Amino acid sequence: MSAIRHDWSLPEIESIYTTSLPDLIFRAQTVHREHHRAGEVQGCMLLSIKTGGCPEDCAYCPQSARYDTGVGRQELLSVEQTLTAARAAREQGATRFCMGAAWRDVPHDSRFARVLEMVRGVRALGMEACCTLGMLTESQAVDLAAAGLTAYNHNLDTSPEFYGEIITTRTYQDRLDTLARVRRAGITVCCGGIIGMGEDRSVRYGLLRELSSLDPHPESVPVNLLVRVDGTPLGDASAIDPLEMVRTIATARILMPQSMVRLSAGRLSLSDEAQTLCLLAGANSVFLGDRLLTTPNPEADADRRLFAKLGLRLRSAEIPAGAGD
């Protein structure tokens, strides 16, 4: 068994990332098979429960109020709308339902009570429930845990050094503080980043070092390939070689053996073969459904064909006894 470490150094990470691709994939596969069921992929489904009009300036994000991206604003959905989407997600084979809100931080009003109700409803469907709502206070984290929230997604996005090029309205430390509150409340942590934002490899090493220094490691590590959206400052970023995504995923798998590594945003710009390499490199989860939060994602049919071609199965639900629908 490979040891779980939280002290990976930048030179070590560089030497893993730059190994010959066959050796890198072999090592990542070896680690993967020690800790996970090969042949199985977890399907997650996203829903934007509150869309657009966000005061933050994240350069990649179509939901920032500062950029003209054509994303409309939608106030917080109702509990019923959300649970209808969760049931549909379950029917499509998702076992984890992720609710995203374009908030800087979670409001202290009845909207939070509504989110708690959504979390309880999703759990009652026998699904894992994840939220990504921006920054959280200690007491909000405790309330989310009490409602049964499985995971909270809050990404570090990039390295501490590159962060200021991407976001100026909150700090890296703000993000680490939210992650610490989530952890203290007993909710599992979903934390990853984005590649393809004009960064060089050393930035990716820096992100991977930060993620792998979290103790415990995030249970879930989403690796997003930037979805370039017109109107955002990164709308015309140059495309990156898909093999950089493969190397990033393989390195994440080796550094954080027990984590779920999620091949997240950006699958529409990857060929079936590039996605296959990402899965060989140790990714064991994808988002299902033709929409992420506001941008498109592969159609259900395309995913069904891909998984059938590869002989991969979607992880089935472990529905607790007595779970209602």
The nearer residue to ligand SAM, 46 or 86, going by C-beta atoms, is 46
d(CA 37, CA 315): 10
Please identify, among the stretches 50-58, 82-90, 211-219, 256-264, the one whose residues bind ligand SF4 according to the rule CB under 6 A: 50-58
Beta strand pairing status for 260-263 and 40-50?
unpaired
* Binders in 118-147 for ligand SAM, by CB under 6 A: 132, 134
| Cα angle: 163, vertex 165, 169; to 5 degrees | 70
Written as six digits, the tokens of 240 are 């990156």
Select the residue interacting with ligand DTB from 43, 222, 289, 298 (CB under 6 A).
222
Q: By CB under 6 A, tell whether 294 contacts ligand DTB.
A: yes
CB closer to ligand DTB, 5 vs 104: 104
Using CB under 6 A as the binding rule, whether residue 221 contacts ligand SAM is answered as no
Tokens 């033709």, located at residue: 290
Query: What is the C-alpha radius of gyration for the chain, rounded to an integer number of angstroms?
Result: 18
For tokens 């997240």, name the residue.
264
**Could you tell me the two tokens for 168?**
């100026």
Per CB under 6 A, the list member of 52, 100, 257, 298 interacting with ligand SAM is 100
Question: Is 189 a residue that touches ligand SAM (CB under 6 A)?
Answer: no
- Active-site option among 44, 54, 131, 278: 54
Query: Which helix or strand (DSSP H or E) is residue 153 part of?
Result: strand 151-153
Active-site choice (61, 131, 191, 278):
61
58 is catalytic: yes
For residue 254, the minimal CB distance to ligand DTB (Å) is: 20
Q: Is-contact 262 44, C-beta < 8 A?
A: yes
Helix axis angle for 10-17 and 201-213, nearest 10°, is 120
Q: Which does 64 bind (CB under 5 to 8 A by kind): ligand SF4, ligand SAM, ligand DTB, none?
A: ligand SF4
Per CB under 6 A, does 64 bind ligand DTB? no
For residue 54, how many other CB atoms are within 10 A of its CB? Answer: 23
What residue type is 133 in one-letter code? L
Burial tier of 187 (Cβ tally within 10 Å: 0-12, 13-18, 19+)? buried
Only one of the segments 51-59, 79-87, 184-192, 314-322 lies at the binding site for ligand SF4 (rule: CB under 6 A); that segment is 51-59
Residues 208 and 251 sit within 8 Å (Cβ to Cβ): yes
CB 49 → ligand SF4: shortest distance, Å?
12
Burial of 108 (0-12, 13-18, 19+ CB in 10 A): exposed
Catalytic residue check, 54: yes
Can you tell me the distance from the alpha carbon of 272 to that of 303, in angstroms, rounded to the nearest whole number? 9
Pick the binder of ligand SF4 from 5, 35, 87, 104 (CB under 6 A).
104
Question: Which residue, 241, 250, 191, 248, is CA-closest to 216?
Answer: 191
- Pick one of 95, 140, 155, 178: the residue that binds ligand DTB (CB under 6 A): 155
232 binds ligand SF4 (CB under 6 A): no
Would you say the C-alpha torsion 69, 189, 196, 311 has a positive or negative sign?
negative
Give the residue, chosen from 17, 103, 172, 287, that forms a contact with ligand SAM under the rule CB under 6 A.
103
Q: Is 262 a catalytic residue?
A: yes
Q: Does 54 bind ligand SF4 (CB under 6 A)?
A: yes
Given the rule CB under 6 A, which residues bind ligand SAM?
A: 60-61, 63, 100, 102-103, 132, 134, 154-155, 157, 194, 224, 226-227, 229, 265, 293
- Cite the active site residues: 54, 58, 61, 98, 130, 190, 262
Given the rule CB under 6 A, which residues bind ligand SF4?
A: 54, 56, 58, 61, 63-64, 102, 104, 134
